[in-house]
Amino acid sequence: MAVGVLALQGSFNEHIAALKRLGVKGVEIRKPEQLHNVTSLIIPGGESTTMAKLAEYHNLFPALREFVKMGKPVWGTCAGLIFLADKAIGQKTGGQELVGGLDCTIHRNYFGSQIQSFEADILVPELASKEGGPETFRGVFIRAPAVLEVGPEVEVLAMYPVPSNKVLYSSPAVEIQEENTTPEKNVIVAVRQGNLLGTAFHPELTADSRWHSYFLKMANGVGQGASSSIIAVGGA
Ligand code: GLN
């Protein structure tokens, strides 16, 4: 099984290292024809506008969309999740090209700018039940997006209880504030739709390999669809 890692920009080396820890070779993908050599793909975190420009330059969008359409497993982390979304909002200027396929609307910079980056333990029952270990996963959120809406086919795998004074979505000027421990609302930070997986945070920047292992099982066809322990399924 060959796992491709889109290697235009961002944390592709970290994904390749995480795969290596699990004994799997990650294949760097920079050209459309290289996608023929892999059976699954990881789109890393980074900066989605830059990544989109590079993907356009290399004429990768048609091949990436075809890859998704064929039902091949694809996992997007952070900017990679933005790439997979059908709709993204929150761009500073205009729109950007997306691969799409994941029936959701995403806010590109929901949690604010670089200086609002944070780490938090995220409850992920699906991961714990399939991969063992604790019920939580340490989420590294760097200028992170969040999923605002999901379609009926999308399974919500993790939510983050946003502290009440940390709600940055739609605030024109982001202020730095002390974290408050009272959760105001839950936002979606990990989703799955069939063979598409998306996390708003960066498992590749942690030593915990459970998300990579979960994706490899998806890629191997083990466990079609998330099961009993999902948090919610999107609906109208
Ligand atoms: N919000 C960033 C973007 O729009 C993604 C950040 C990340 O991948 N760490 O591209």
pLDDT at 114: 84
pLDDT in tens, 85-116: 999 988 665 567 999 999 999 999 998 888 88
pLDDT in tens, 114-171: 888 899 999 999 999 999 999 999 999 999 999 999 999 999 999 998 876 665 554 4
Contact 190, 158 (CB under 8 A): yes
Substitution site in 53, 82, 84 for ligand 1 pocket (most atoms within 8 Å of beta carbon): 82
pLDDT at 4 over 70: yes
pLDDT at 92: 61
Substitution site in 142, 174, 199, 201 for ligand 1 pocket (most atoms within 8 Å of beta carbon): 142
- 51 token code pair: 């990544």
* Binding site residue list: 46-48, 108, 142-143
pLDDT in tens, 30-70: 999 999 999 999 999 999 999 999 999 999 999 999 999 99
* Contacts of the segment 127-131: beta carbons below 8 A, 24+ positions apart: 127/157, 127/158, 127/210, 127/211, 127/214, 128/229, 129/227, 129/228, 129/229, 130/214, 130/217, 130/223, 131/210, 131/213, 131/214
pLDDT at 180 over 70: no
What structural domains and CATH numbers belong to the chain? Answer: 3-108+143-159+188-233 (3.40.50.880)
User: What are the catalytic residues?
Assistant: 78, 202, 204
ipTM attached to this prediction: 0.96
- Residue 228 CA to ligand 1 centre (angstroms): 31
